[in-house]
Amino acid sequence: MAWWMALLLVLAPWLPGVHTCLFCFGPAIQRTRLCQDITGAPVSDPRHRQCLEALVQAAVPLASVTVGSKQREALREIIMDALHFLEQQKNMKPFEVSLQEAVNIIWAKLSQLEEAPACVPPCGYQPAARVFQCATCRLVDCHFPLDCPVQDVWAHAGEAITLRCDVPFDTPSDLPVTWMFAKDLRTQDLAVFDELQESVEGPLSLTLQEPIPGTVACCLGVLSEPLVRKYFYLNVSGGGVEAEQGLQAQFGAVLRWPEGRTPLHHMASLGLGLALGFMALVLLLL
């Protein structure tokens, strides 16, 4: 325990809050023992302190290193090998020399590790892009919100439109997709969306036969742990909309409703507004 404390006391003034890969793995006692081995001096000896400081300094450039989270174990092995190398070299050459060699070997091996894909802005949880960061000795994720900005989609009433919930980064395959709709609103407030159970076409796309104004949202992944949520505001122009909007104000608009634009094939939630209009039309004709 005393070694630990001594080491922390030695290191703290040097690099406040900054670790380097050399100190992310293995117990501190290991480094202390390493310096004891190399110097042959007790911990209280200034040479011991110098050894630790040399280790810290040699490792400073490594603080900038990040590796893909899947490479964390490989990185650990590289570092442990380097420390082992130092121990083996202790009676063969000056410590500074073997230390530089060890760091060079680390860099050479690091360059062979596979890089994690970069974070793709501006949204989504991107598990493949997660990295292990030497500066903090931690796994770090992209700092993006789950919610993507609302995209404006211009559509014509009566003309089918297909929305896609795919994303420009790697995701686990076979994720569930949930489609939702908020009629008339341009919003990201999940509380005002209705879930669309039916009419999910492919795994990642939704085709609306007769788009009506409002925001369609898709949620990729299980609802409790989504990877991303995309929002499409449908800006619908054309007769169908005018007819639907006119319907509320005046029945005259309903009579000019274009032929063949019945809402029979609509999904329940999406078509609700139009369906009501259709019922009104039927009543009117009766």
Ligand X SMILES: *[C@@H]1O[C@H](CO)[C@@H](O)[C@H](O)[C@H]1NC(C)=O
Instruction: Tell me the CA distances in angstroms from 35 to 13, 51, 158, one per residue in order.
Output: 19, 6, 77
x/- track of binding to ligand X for residues 180-219 (CB under 6 A): ------x---------------------------------
SS3 19: coil
Shortest approach of ligand X to residue 248 CB, angstroms? 17
At 92 the three-state DSSP class reads coil
Residue 50 binding ligand X, by CB under 6 A: no
State the Cα–Cα distance between residues 125 and 42, nearest whole angstrom: 49
Per-residue x/- marks for ligand X, 131-170, CB under 6 A?
----------------------------------------
Decide: 233 and 153 in contact? Cβ < 8 Å: yes
Instruction: Write out the binding residues for ligand X, residues 232-271 only, by CB under 6 A.
Output: 235
Residue 68: beta bridge partners? 131
Is 49 or 186 the residue whose CB approaches ligand X more closely? 186
Q: What is the dihedral of CA 267, 270, 276, 278, to 10 degrees?
A: -60
Cα–Cα distance measured from residue 226 to residue 218, given in angstroms and rounded to the nearest whole number:
10
Shortest reach from residue 25's CB to ligand X, in Å? 54
Considering the complex, state which of residue 213 and residue 271 has its C-beta at the smaller distance from ligand X.
213
**What single DSSP character describes residue 224?**
T
CB of 105 to ligand X, least distance (A): 59
Residue whose CB is nearest to ligand X in the complex, by number = 235
Query: How many Cα atoms are found within 13 Å in the side-chain-facing hemisphere of 64?
Result: 3
With CB under 6 A as the rule, give the number of residues binding ligand X: 2
To ligand X, the closest distance from the beta carbon of 247 in angstroms equals 19
CB atoms within 10 A of CB 39: 19
Q: Which is nearer to ligand X, 76 or 186 (CB)?
A: 186
Nearer to ligand X, 136 or 235 (CB): 235
Q: At what angle do helices 46-59 and 95-110 cross, to 10 degrees?
A: 30
What's the CA gap between 23 and 12, in Å, rounded?
13
- Residue closer to ligand X, measured from CB, 89 or 235: 235
Touching ligand X, residues 5-34 (CB under 6 A): none
Q: Output 32 or 215, the one with its CB closest to ligand X.
A: 215
Binding site for ligand X (CB under 6 A): 186, 235
